[in-house]
Structure formats: C-alpha cells, structure tokens
Amino acid sequence: DRSFDLAVSLLALQHANDLPGALVQIRRALRPDGLFVGCLLGGRTLTELRQVLTQAESEVEGGASPRVAPFAEVRDVGGLLQRAGFALPVADVETVTVRYGDPFGLMRDLRAMGLTNALRERRGGLRRETLMRAAALYAERFADPDGRLRATFEMIWLSGWVPHESQQKPLRPGSAQARLADALGTVERKEPS
C-alpha cells in the first residue's frame, strides 16, 4: 500500500475479471498524488469480427455463442476511475483501424498476441462452414474499395491521481471572476424565453 508514485497498465486491464477491483488495488498501491496511466481495449474493438461471427454462427449452426470477449465502454471506465477513488479522472478514446487481406490474417494476429477468447460461456471451436461464412460476410460488409478488410481497435486511455491536498479543487458554482464571452471576444446573446 502507498508504495508507488506511478502505475502504468498498457493493454492488460481488458483481461481483468474484476476491473473495478483492479482499479481499487492500483489506487491503493499509489502514494497520495500518485498517478495512474492506463490503456485498455474499448467496446468498439473488433466490432466487425463480432458481427460476422454472430451472424455466421446463427445462420449455419442455428444459434450464436460469444466469440469476441466484451470490452468496456469509455463512459463506464471513467465512472470506474471515480468509484475507485481517483481524483481528476480522464478517459479518452483513440480508434485505430487496421486492414487485412482476409479475416484469417486478423485471427492469426489475435492468436499470436494472446488475444483469443477466454470466455467460459462460449461453445467449442467453430465449424469450417461457419468460418467460411464469416469470412464471406466480412468481405461483403467491411471491405474497402481495394478489397482489404477493416478491423477496428478502440483504445481507451485513462489517467487518475490519488487525492492530495495540493491538487486543484473545483470552484463553487457562480464564483467566476471573468465572463467566457469576454475571454472569447464575443457578444453574449440571451435565448428568447
């Protein structure tokens, strides 16, 4: 407890079974005014793959199993930082689109990165017919004009500080000393009621 000035987690927290608990433990490990910086995959990650696998499995096998693990949404992660007791929390999103010649290249890369699905609720492996249907759907729905396929990765960047008396505090509403319109050099217009 209270041993570190900085904690960094890059692309690991999406694997935590208890994300709120992990954030609480990170906060506990930091000294007052310690900083946490992290990045985890967000909810729109692999949306294309998720959609085609669900549709293909439904069509071919008569039902769908979770094939792509769920990821947190940015608004939820920001709230979790606050719940864990971090001050001045920030959550921001960066979306990266990677392109592949076929969906099997994407799946090979995911496996090589250790990002295969570890959900207990999923059924066994996919049948060849289901995989081929998913590949056809991917090409139909997510191909760029040059034929390459898009794969979306949403990265949620996080930061939060352990509270300390030296940190800035929000001002009391109505206590401003200057008007925004003056700072912007514009005329303030009142909306008709």
114-164 pLDDT, tens digit per residue, is 877 766 566 667 789 999 999 999 999 999 999 999 999 999 999 999 999
User: Helix-strand-coil percent breakdown of the chain, rounded to 5?
Assistant: 35, 25, 40
Quick one: which of 59, 49, 61, 32 has its CA closest to 163?
Answer: 32
Quick one: which of 77, 72, 105 has its CA closest to 89?
Answer: 77
Residue 14, both tokens:
């999406």
Q: What is the pTM of this model?
A: 0.79
Mean pLDDT of all residues in the chain?
Answer: 90
Contact status, residue 99 vs residue 153, Cβ threshold 8 Å: no
For the chain, give every domain's residue range: 4-168
Contact status, residue 66 vs residue 117, Cβ threshold 8 Å: yes
pLDDT in the model for residue 38 = 97
Taking residues 167-189, what's their average pLDDT?
A: 84
49-84 pLDDT, tens digit per residue, is 999 999 999 999 888 777 777 789 999 999 999 999
Quick one: which of 41, 43, 35, 47 has its CA closest to 13?
Answer: 41
Fold of 4-168: Rossmann fold (3.40.50)
Let me know how long the chain is. Answer: 193
> Taking the mean position of all CA atoms in its chain, how far away is CA 125?
26
pLDDT band at 97 (very low <50, low <70, confident <90, very high): very high
Contact status, residue 122 vs residue 58, Cβ threshold 8 Å: no
Q: Are strands 4-10 and 87-100 parallel, antiparallel or unpaired?
A: unpaired
